[in-house]
């Protein structure tokens, strides 16, 4: 016989962002504990609201399955005397396993016994398992209460039932029962649960939609409908939808309005005022202009909307009043006039002010523009001059609720100051991408300024030892490095990362050996980010390592190189080529490189390899120049047999210094030719194992 298991953890309101990760952990942990305890089950299903996390397990067996184990005891010479009689060691071992001493056998000079565990009733086992599953849950921040218990928020009730049977479970000082809670104020309860099958319906009857997917769909569909009733359409926001789904238990949509005069503010300001603290959805016309309405997701029945609407309208009007004041104050003077104020704002302790960063950005923007888009130089430099000015505006500074609009407000203030549209767009785009998967800058000037800003921040932090370690990255340098790599890679920009870092380092007055060490440190950091990016894109880790070793400084050729190596990896000659490249590179380790006399290559195998190397070099150079890496690899494949013959017929490390120098020199040239495409010694062949 099988029954359904219901386990509900009732809590004070958990932050919305905590819930889904914890819910996934709960489902995985309960499933793992049941499997480990030999309790079979059919499936699991999870529910979550701000006040509860629930797992329902269908078809849990009433008892554990039996298990037979072979237990090894003491050596036979200790368990039995010379006369074969069992000793105290044998009888003690038998007693500990619950068997008669006659059940003991000897295998490979050790005493063994087969013990069958028939398994206990599920109701006896489950309390311990559920408590263990709850203990595995982790949260970004926890609260502690009682002697040793931590959780996201205090646990107020527990429901633990197998079928209609209440399990004898105590966790965090709370005794489990069959009583759950409804929506606070409107139907708090407690309400008695008859079992897992009745759980959802019982909660719905008491103003709780337990299923988060149903709540999400309810909010989305109602918001679309109500926006239409306002004569417009919903400004869809998936992140906000996800958040309000886990802020409510019984969501309904309440529509409110605000004074039309606020529509004169920039659209992003109005939307930010709605979304930031209030979690309202905006409504727009068919043409895309905002309408003076907002949609509030209310955790209450519809017949309470009137009083709720009035309160929310007052709150929003207050925030929009603030925004209107900030806007009027900020637009009373030009964006250029605010640049001088950056001298009073520290960008980074020990590095300097935002004004100094602005000066570096102007220089870097000019350098990058000359390298990738000379026509955008003037626009990029002007945008660099104004890029950080919005950080000292009333709207953005001092951690106000509109701080997240940095860049966006820079664009709006630039337009109000009659700056060219291209400059305004570049100011906005220089913050892109802001997160994984975010859009990249589209305009040339925005691309230039984004690169300049990111490399300046990375190099500045590295120059004073603020290097990310482990999970610590307070200045988001990993994100900025990944963004920079994406911009250069996806834009196919011909830009030397090494020279870019060197130029940025010079802006911090780092010179000589210290500058070279800084360049190497930053390049290594960025290379790791590039490695992650390309592996996440589906490329084999060893091919990524091979290509980045040879061509990381310019990312333009990385993807076509990876494509070519992936294609040729299946060919028979490829493995031989890799082996030959490894042999050449292994011999060259620790050996000086320099010019060599080709006339000293007297052996036919040496001469043949040198001739083929010369021929292949011309083909590889031409193929690389036109970005045709399939052809470049085909040229390298021609070296496979000459390399094999060379190593079969020629001794490289001979006593004659002239011969040794010539042969090492030849292999050095072969290595350089390989490195025009990739470091083939890093390729992992079939059957080999290497750590990623």
Query: What is the per-residue pLDDT across 275-321, written as a single tens digit (0 to 9) for each?
Result: 987 899 999 999 999 999 999 999 988 887 888 899 999 999 999 99
Rounded to an integer, the average pLDDT of 509-530 is 93
Peptide bond into 190 cis (omega under 30): yes
Rounded to an integer, the average pLDDT of 80-102 is 87
- Residue 360 is given by DSSP the state H
The answer on pLDDT for 692 being more than 60 is: no
The answer to whether residues 603 and 577 touch, using CB atoms and an 8 Å cutoff, is no
- Residue 288 is given by DSSP the state S
Whole-number pLDDT of residue 648: 86
At 483, the pLDDT band (50, 70, 90 cuts) reads very high
Whole-number pLDDT of residue 98: 82
CA-based nearest residue to 227, from 316, 148, 292: 292
Over the stretch 655-677, which tens digit does the pLDDT of each residue have? 887 888 888 888 888 888 999 99
At 102, the pLDDT band (50, 70, 90 cuts) reads confident
What mean pLDDT, rounded, does the chain reach? 91
Over the stretch 620-642, which tens digit does the pLDDT of each residue have? 999 998 989 999 998 988 888 89
The answer on pLDDT for 117 being more than 80 is: no
At 383, the pLDDT band (50, 70, 90 cuts) reads very high
Task: Name the least confident of 85-94, 178-187, 224-233, 491-500.
Answer: 85-94
CA-based nearest residue to 605, from 641, 642, 657, 652: 642
At 195, the pLDDT band (50, 70, 90 cuts) reads very high
Query: 174 has which bridge partners?
Result: 171
Burial class (CB in 10 A: 0-12, 13-18, 19+), 282: buried
Cα 354 from chain centroid? 29
Task: Please tell me the distance from the alpha carbon of residue 627 to that of residue 262, in angstroms, as a whole number.
Answer: 54
- Residue 344 is given by DSSP the state G
Residue 110 φ then ψ, to 5°: -125, 150
Q: Mean pLDDT: which of 75-79, 382-386, 464-468 is highest?
A: 382-386
Tokens standing for residue 120: 């206990």
Rounded to an integer, the average pLDDT of 363-367 is 97
At 594, the pLDDT band (50, 70, 90 cuts) reads low
The answer on pLDDT for 619 being more than 60 is: yes
Whole-number pLDDT of residue 574: 86
At 359, the pLDDT band (50, 70, 90 cuts) reads very high
Rounded to an integer, the average pLDDT of 53-79 is 89
Place of tokens 């049977």: 165
pTM of the model: 0.81
The beta strands (E) that lie in 15-109 are given as 43-49, 52-61, 67-75, 105-107
Burial class (CB in 10 A: 0-12, 13-18, 19+), 274: buried
The answer to whether residues 529 and 477 touch, using CB atoms and an 8 Å cutoff, is no
Burial class (CB in 10 A: 0-12, 13-18, 19+), 642: buried
Task: Please tell me the distance from the alpha carbon of residue 431 to that of residue 383, in angstroms, as a whole number.
Answer: 12
The answer to whether residues 445 and 426 touch, using CB atoms and an 8 Å cutoff, is yes
At 146, the pLDDT band (50, 70, 90 cuts) reads low
The answer to whether residues 524 and 462 touch, using CB atoms and an 8 Å cutoff, is no
At 437, the pLDDT band (50, 70, 90 cuts) reads confident
Whole-number pLDDT of residue 66: 77
Angle at 23 between CA 19 and CA 29, to 5 degrees: 145
In angstroms, the Cα distances linking 263 to 45, 139, 285, 322, 482 are 45, 40, 12, 14, 37
Tokens standing for residue 632: 């470049």
* Percent of the chain at pLDDT exceeding 90: 66
At 118, the pLDDT band (50, 70, 90 cuts) reads low
The answer on pLDDT for 691 being more than 70 is: no
Rounded to an integer, the average pLDDT of 542-547 is 93
DSSP string, 307-336: HHHHHHHHHHHHHHHHHHHHHHHHTTS-SG
Rounded to an integer, the average pLDDT of 608-618 is 90
Whole-number pLDDT of residue 147: 61
The answer on pLDDT for 261 being more than 80 is: yes
Rounded to an integer, the average pLDDT of 373-385 is 97
Task: Please tell me the distance from the alpha carbon of residue 406 to that of residue 391, in angstroms, as a whole number.
Answer: 7
Whole-number pLDDT of residue 603: 86
Whole-number pLDDT of residue 690: 59
Tokens standing for residue 83: 């006369």
The answer to whether residues 13 and 50 touch, using CB atoms and an 8 Å cutoff, is yes
In angstroms, the Cα distances linking 299 to 54, 206, 208, 254, 308 are 20, 13, 9, 10, 10
The answer on pLDDT for 50 being more than 60 is: yes
């Amino acid at each position: 016989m099988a029954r359904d298991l219901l386990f509900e953890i009732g809590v004070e309101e958990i932050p919305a962002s905590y819930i889904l990760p914890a819910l996934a952990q709960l489902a995985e942990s309960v499933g793992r504990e049941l499997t480990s305890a030999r309790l079979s089950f059919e499936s699991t299903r999870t529910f979550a609201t701000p006040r509860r996390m629930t797992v329902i397990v269908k078809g849990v067996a009433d008892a554990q399955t039996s298990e037979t184990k072979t237990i090894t005891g003491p050596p036979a010479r200790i368990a039995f005397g010379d006369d074969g009689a069992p000793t105290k060691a044998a009888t003690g071992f038998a007693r500990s396993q619950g068997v008669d001493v006659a059940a003991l056998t000897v295998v490979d000079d050790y005493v063994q016994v087969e013990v069958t565990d028939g398994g206990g009733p599920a109701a006896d086992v489950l309390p311990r398992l559920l408590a263990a599953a709850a203990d595995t849950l982790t949260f970004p921040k926890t609260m502690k209460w009682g002697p040793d218990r931590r959780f996201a928020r205090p646990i107020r009730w527990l429901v633990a039932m197998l079928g209609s049977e209440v399990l004898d479970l105590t966790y965090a000082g709370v005794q489990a029962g069959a009583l759950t809670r409804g929506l606070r104020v409107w139907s708090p309860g407690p309400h008695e649960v008859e079992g897992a099958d009745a759980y959802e319906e019982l909660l719905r009857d008491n103003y709780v939609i337990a299923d988060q997917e149903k709540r999400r769909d309810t909010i989305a569909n109602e918001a679309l409908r109500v926006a239409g009733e306002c004569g417009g359409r919903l400004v869809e926001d998936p992140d906000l939808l996800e958040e309000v789904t886990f802020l409510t238990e019984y969501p309904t949509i309440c529509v409110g309005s605000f004074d039309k005069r606020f529509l004169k503010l920039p659209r992003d300001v109005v939307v930010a005022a709605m979304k930031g603290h209030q979690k309202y959805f905006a409504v727009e016309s068919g043409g895309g202009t905002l309408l003076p309405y907002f949609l509030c997701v209310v955790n209450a029945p519809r017949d309470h909307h009137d009083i709720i609407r009035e309160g929310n309208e007052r709150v929003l009007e207050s925030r929009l009043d603030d925004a209107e004041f900030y806007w009027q104050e900020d637009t009373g003077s030009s964006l250029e006039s605010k640049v001088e104020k950056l001298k009073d704002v520290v960008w980074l302790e020990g590095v300097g002010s935002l004004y100094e960063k602005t000066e570096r950005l102007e220089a870097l923007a000019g350098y990058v523009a000359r390298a990738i888009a000379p026509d955008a130089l003037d626009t990029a430099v002007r945008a660099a001059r104004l890029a950080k000015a919005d950080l000292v505006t009333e709207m953005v500074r001092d951690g106000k609720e509109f701080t997240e609009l940095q860049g966006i407000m820079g664009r709006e203030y630039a337009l109000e100051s009659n700056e060219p549209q291209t400059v305004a767009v570049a100011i906005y785009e220089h913050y892109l991408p802001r997160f994984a998967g975010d859009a990249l800058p589209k305009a040339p000037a925005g691309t230039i300024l984004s690169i300049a800003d990111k490399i300046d921040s990375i190099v500045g932090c590295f120059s004073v030892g603020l290097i990310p370690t482990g999970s610590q990255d307070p200045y988001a340098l990993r994100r900025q490095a990944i963004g920079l790599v994406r911009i250069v890679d996806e834009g196919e920009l011909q830009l030397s990362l090494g020279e870019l870092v060197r130029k940025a380092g010079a802006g911090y007055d780092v010179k000589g050996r210290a500058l070279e060490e800084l360049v190497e440190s930053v390049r290594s950091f960025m290379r790791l980010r590039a490695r992650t990016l390309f592996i996440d894109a589906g490329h084999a880790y060893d091919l990524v390592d091979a290509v980045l070793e040879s061509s990381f400084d310019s990312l333009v050729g990385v993807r076509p190189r990876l494509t070519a190596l992936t294609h040729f990896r299946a060919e028979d000659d490829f493995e031989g080529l890799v082996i030959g490249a490894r042999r050449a590179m292994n011999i060259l380790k620790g050996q000086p490189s320099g010019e060599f006399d080709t006339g000293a290559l007297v052996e036919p195998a040496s001469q043949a390899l040198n001739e083929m190397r010369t021929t292949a070099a011309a083909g590889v150079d031409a193929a690389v120049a036109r970005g045709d890496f399939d052809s470049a690899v085909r040229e390298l494949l021609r070296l496979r047999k000459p390399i094999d013959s060379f190593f079969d017929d020629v001794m490289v490390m001979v006593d004659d210094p002239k011969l040794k120098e010539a042969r090492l020199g030849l292999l050095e040239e072969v290595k350089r030719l390989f490195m025009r495409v990739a470091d083939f010694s890093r390729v992992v062949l079939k059957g080999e194992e290497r750590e990623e």
